[in-house]
Structure formats: structure tokens, C-alpha cells
């Protein structure tokens, strides 16, 4: 079997698995967020934090809950890393320095999971499990809660209430993420991923000498890392490490875990707004972009015109031989079109155009299918923009799901789509202009610029993957990427929740002959076009200086 055919067959198997999970998982999540009953363990948690889960919140109260909970998470994780040296199970590792502790705490709380450290050489068992793994769960649950609040904004009318943040947070964690992660961890352990609390061992090498390896609760963290679209690897090599991802099956299974909730949330959206066809339209948009990116990535990595790459049958540099070019291409696209950041290959070693595709996937806003929760609310914001554009074309007040898109709504949507490009371009420009940061670059020229552009694209869009070749463990990059992650996560949430509150206050607008049918293929095409054009106009100059220049020159 040729490598191209193997890649295509894996892609088809992945699509089939996602299709089988789509309806049952989407319907289940809709029931979770619509139920008025509380599990006993949830009642205990509400009592412990002093929250009333039946109290409805306005968008501002909901936002305060998100920000307060996240601020406590940053502080707790920061202190845990600063005190690591005196904690049990530290494996002899010292406390993490202040700049790196700040960066890592922000990274995991914002669902970015950007890592400027070697996991197996920096973090002990307590920090990995009680700190990083816990945030993998709750940061994903926060994203899902904000998405559900926006969906309620479309579904409700004549009220400013969007549900209860504490209830949505706990249900997403206890009823969705924990069960899925437990099942996934069992599958991963059965397939060879390690799960233990062992110390450091001396391991012999094939060519002589020894190496130090430590164990850890890898399978459980790997499961939620993918399901929650988090991405922080237990080991520095991330999902390219055989302890995290030992076989081609586990590789495909981990891609499935990355994509299953973001795609299924479109079904949840359709059920909650009372029209599954609307969910299918959003799904079709996400799937079209994802499949197109996978096809482009496979083409660039298999059909590169370099003689060495042609002789090898594809661009194999930086890719695990047990996965190959096809599976690595699918993984790279899936992780950068979501907010996952896990990697099973070296993105810096992709072809010039291949590296550009990974960057463009994040620059789209990670909405195809995007992160857990963030992908759905990002796509719904783009749907509002697309409806507005269509309204301008025909001279009609735009409507979406029975709600008028007026001046307030379009301003909030515009602020949402402008904030992350501004962060990416400003921080990248500042880093290239100052004398110290460029010394962190392994390469010069277009590829070196791509390293810095990728870093801030990943941080601002809360992805977490790295282009590699960039030493990000400096005070400048730890601080600046930390700020980019904070602003890139929570400023968009302000606009999302404000938009949700504005929509929920409206009364429904009856459908007329002039209403744009947003469940039809025509709207899907319009939405895909709006996403690609808006992103292209925003980022094309920066891409032209980096991956496009490198790709055309090779």
C-alpha cells in the first residue's frame, strides 16, 4: 500500500468515526445543558462554593463568573509551580521560575497549553496531575459554557438571562468531559500509553550510554489534552513521543478525540435552537474548510518538487516514521484548526507552504471545527458577519435565527474578529523590531520570521502548538505570549457574552419571503467565502513575508 493511499484510507476511517459519534454525542450534550436536574455530586460542589445553580445570570454576571473562576485558576497554578520544590512527588525538580510560572499558568487556564519548558524535566507528579490536568478539564468546560450561553442568546427572547455559569461549568466537566476522558484513557492504556507515578529511571540506549526517563499519569492527561482541545504534552516531544502516542491506531484515535466534541457541538446548537438544519449548515461549513485544508496539506507534503523529497515519496523530515506523511498531515491540520496545539510531527520541518497552512488554520480563528466551545461561538460570530454582508448586498436588515443583526450586534461581532489579528500582528512586529527577541530564532530570513509569527498566532488564538526552532523560554517571550494568551482568550469572550445578552433581549422576527435561508447550501458557501476572504485580507501581508516567500523560493 502506497503512503498516499494509506493517508486517504485513514482520513476516510476518521470521517466515518466522527459521523457515527455526531448525533448521539450532540444530542447528549444538548440534554446536559438543557436539563433542570442536578446530580448529587454537583449539589455537593454547589454547596461547597456557595453557588445557586438555579439562578439565571445576565451576560455581565456570567462574564464575572468566567473571569473570577479563571483568575483563581491562574493564581492557584502559579503558586503550585512556584512551590514545587517543597511538594511531594516533585521528582527532585526545583520550583519553576516566576516568568515561566506566569506563562504556564496563563497558558493552561486559557486552554492554550503553550509550553516553553521540557515537561519531563520540569514538572513533577503533583503539578502535572493536580495542576495542569485539572486545568485541562475546567478550561475546556469554560469554553463550552460560553458557547452554550451564546446559543441560548439565539434561542431565547425578551430576556437578558443566559443560564448559570457555575451550573454550565460543572455539568460540562462532570457529565461530558470526565466520562469521555475516562473511556479514552482506558483505550490509550490498552494500546500502550503509560500510566503510573514512577520516579526517574536510567535507560540504556541502542548506541551506548544511558538516558533518564520518568513516568507519570500520561494516558489520563493525554485523553483530556485531546478531548478538551488543550494540547499540553506530558513530554517535550508531545504526541510524537511513543509514551504518549505509540502506534498508528493511537495517532488516529487522538485525532478523533480532538475533533469529536467541536464537530458534535454543531448538533447541540441545532437541537437547542430548535432546528437541526441550522446545525448541519454550520457543520458543513466547518467540514468543508477542514477537509480542504487536509487535502492541501497532503498535496504540499506528498508532491513537493524537491528531488530528495520526491525520491523519499514525500516530505518525511520531522515526521514520525510510524505515522508517515498522511497521518501527520491530518494531525497537523486538525490540531491547528482547533485550539489543541498537540503535535505528532515537527511543524518547522514541513514544507514552506505546509507550514503556512498550519498558520492559516489558526488565523481563521480556529473555527473549523475550532476548540471545544470556542470553535462554535467563533463560527456563530462569523455567521453573523456573513448574514450582515448578505444584507448589504440586497439592501435589507440582516437577520439570523429570527434575530435582527443591528448596529450593536455587528459592532460586537466586528470587535470579536479584530482582536486576535491585532494581537498577533502587534506582538510579532514588536518582537521583530526589538534587538533581543530575534536572537531566540534558530533561523534567519523568511523561516525565522515564520517562527515568531507562528508563536504569537498560536498564543493569541489559544492554540499552543509551536513551530519549533524558537527559544521561547526567555523573559520577553514568556511575558509577551502570556499577555497574548490572556487577551486572546478573555477579550473575545466579553464580546461573545455581550452579543448573547443583546440577542436574548430581542423579540423574534417572523420569517418572510426576503429572509436569507441560513440552513441552505448557499449560506454555507457564503460563510466559507466570508471566513477565507476576511482572514486572507487580514493576514496576507504577514504570510507573504514568511511561509509564502519561503514556499515560493523552494
Q: What is the pLDDT of residue 305?
A: 60
Would the pLDDT of 267 be above 90? yes
DSSP 514: T
pLDDT score for 277: 95
What the block records as the C-alpha cell of 82 is 512556584
Calpha distance 189→317 (Å, rounded): 29
Mean pLDDT, rounded, of the chain: 89
Taking only the tens place, the pLDDT of each residue in 33-63 is 999 999 999 999 999 999 999 999 999 999 9
Which pLDDT belongs to residue 138?
Answer: 95
The pLDDT of residue 40: 93
- From 103-112, 288-297, 396-405, the region with the lowest mean pLDDT: 396-405
**Quick check: 384 pLDDT over 80?**
yes
Output the CA angle 512-517-523, nearest 5 degrees: 150
Residue 112 and residue 485 in contact, taking contact as beta carbons nearer than 8 Å: yes
Which residue bears the cell 456563530?
Answer: 380
Sign of CA dihedral 118, 119, 123, 127: positive
Q: Which residue in 51, 32, 33 sits closest to 163, CA to CA?
A: 33
Given a contact cutoff of 8 angstroms between Cβ atoms, the answer to whether 109 and 141 are in contact is: no
Q: In angstroms, rounded to a whole number, what is the distance separating the alpha carbons of residues 434 and 134?
A: 37
Q: What are the pLDDT digits (tens) for 147-187?
A: 999 999 999 999 889 999 999 999 999 999 999 999 999 99
DSSP 237: T
pLDDT of residue 437: 62
What CA–CA distances, in Å, run from 267 to 283, 286, 497, 522?
8, 12, 21, 20
Residues in the chain, total: 554
Per-domain residue ranges of the chain: 372-553
> Residue 383 and residue 364: Cα distance in Å, rounded?
13
Q: Average pLDDT of 26-31? A: 97
pLDDT tens digits for range 443-496: 677 878 888 888 899 999 999 888 777 777 888 888 899 999 999 999 999 999
Contact criterion met (CB below 8 Å) for 145 and 378: no
In angstroms, rounded to a whole number, what is the distance separating the alpha carbons of residues 335 and 328?
Answer: 10
pLDDT at position 310 is 55
| 140 in Cβ contact with 172 (< 8 Å) | yes
pLDDT in tens, 286-305: 999 999 999 999 988 887 66
Amino acid at each position: 500500500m502506497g503512503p498516499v493511499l494509506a493517508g486517504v484510507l485513514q482520513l476516510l476511517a476518521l470521517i466515518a468515526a466522527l459521523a457515527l459519534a455526531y448525533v448521539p454525542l450532540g444530542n447528549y450534550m444538548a440534554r446536559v445543558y438543557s436539563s433542570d436536574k442536578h446530580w448529587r455530586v454537583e449539589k455537593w460542589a454547589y454547596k461547597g462554593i456557595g453557588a445557586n445553580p438555579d439562578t439565571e445570570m445576565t451576560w455581565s454576571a456570567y462574564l464575572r463568573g468566567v473571569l473570577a473562576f479563571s483568575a483563581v485558576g491562574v493564581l492557584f497554578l502559579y503558586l503550585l509551580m512556584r512551590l514545587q520544590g517543597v511538594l511531594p512527588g516533585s521528582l527532585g525538580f526545583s520550583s519553576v521560575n516566576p516568568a515561566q510560572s506566569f506563562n504556564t499558568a496563563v497558558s493552561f487556564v486559557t486552554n492554550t497549553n503553550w509550553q516553553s519548558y521540557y515537561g519531563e524535566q520540569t514538572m513533577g507528579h503533583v503539578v502535572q496531575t493536580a495542576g495542569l490536568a485539572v486545568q485541562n478539564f475546567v478550561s475546556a468546560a469554560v469554553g463550552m459554557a460560553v458557547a452554550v450561553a451564546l446559543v441560548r442568546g439565539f434561542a431565547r427572547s425578551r430576556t437578558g438571562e443566559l443560564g448559570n455559569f457555575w451550573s454550565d461549568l460543572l455539568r460540562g466537566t462532570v457529565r461530558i468531559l470526565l466520562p469521555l476522558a475516562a473511556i479514552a484513557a482506558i483505550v490509550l492504556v490498552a494500546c500502550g500509553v503509560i500510566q503510573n507515578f514512577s520516579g526517574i529511571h536510567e535507560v540504556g540506549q541502542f548506541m551506548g550510554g544511558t538516558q533518564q526517563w520518568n513516568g507519570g499519569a500520561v494516558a489520563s492527561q493525554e485523553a483530556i489534552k485531546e478531548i478538551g482541545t488543550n494540547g499540553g504534552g506530558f513530554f517535550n516531544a508531545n504526541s510524537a513521543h511513543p509514551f504518549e502516542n505509540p502506534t498508528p491506531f493511537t495517532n488516529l484515535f487522538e485525532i478523533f478525540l480532538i475533533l469529536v466534541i467541536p464537530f458534535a457541538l454543531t448538533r447541540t446548537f441545532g437541537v437547542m435552537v430548535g432546528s437541526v438544519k441550522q446545525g448541519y449548515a454550520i457543520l458543513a461549513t466547518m467540514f468543508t474548510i477542514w477537509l480542504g485544508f487536509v487535502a492541501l496539506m497532503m498535496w504540499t507534503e506528498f508532491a513537493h518538487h524537491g528531488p530528495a523529497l520526491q525520491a523519499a515519496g514525500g516530505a518525511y523530515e520531522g515526521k514520525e516514521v510510524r505515522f508517515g506523511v498522511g497521518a501527520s498531515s491530518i494531525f497537523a491540520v486538525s490540531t491547528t484548526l482547533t485550539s489543541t496545539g498537540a503535535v505528532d510531527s515537527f511543524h518547522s520541518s514541513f514544507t514552506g507552504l505546509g507550514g503556512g497552512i498550519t498558520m492559516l488554520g489558526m488565523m481563521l480563528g480556529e473555527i473549523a471545527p475550532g476548540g471545544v466551545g470556542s470553535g462554535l461561538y467563533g463560527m456563530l460570530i462569523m455567521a453573523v458577519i456573513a448574514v450582515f454582508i448578505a444584507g448589504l448586498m440586497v439592501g435589507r436588515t440582516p437577520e439570523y435565527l429570527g434575530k435582527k443583526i443591528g448596529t450593536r450586534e455587528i459592532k460586537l461581532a466586528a470587535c470579536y474578529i479584530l482582536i486576535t489579528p491585532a494581537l498577533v500582528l502587534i506582538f510579532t512586529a514588536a518582537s521583530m523590531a526589538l534587538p533581543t527577541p530575534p536572537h531566540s530564532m534558530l533561523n534567519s530570513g523568511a523561516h525565522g520570521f515564520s517562527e515568531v509569527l507562528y508563536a504569537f498566532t498560536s498564543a493569541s488564538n489559544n492554540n499552543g502548538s509551536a513551530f519549533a526552532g524558537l527559544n521561547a523560554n526567555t523573559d520577553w517571550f514568556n511575558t509577551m505570549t502570556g499577555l497574548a494568551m490572556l487577551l486572546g482568550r478573555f477579550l473575545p469572550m466579553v464580546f461573545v457574552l455581550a452579543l448573547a445578552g443583546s440577542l436574548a433581549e430581542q423579540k423574534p422576527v417572523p420569517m418572510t419571503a426576503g429572509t436569507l435561508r441560513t440552513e441552505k447550501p448557499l449560506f454555507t458557501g457564503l460563510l466559507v467565502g466570508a471566513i477565507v476572504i476576511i482572514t486572507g485580507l487580514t493576514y496576507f501581508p504577514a504570510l507573504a513575508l514568511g511561509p509564502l516567500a519561503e514556499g515560493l523560493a523552494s
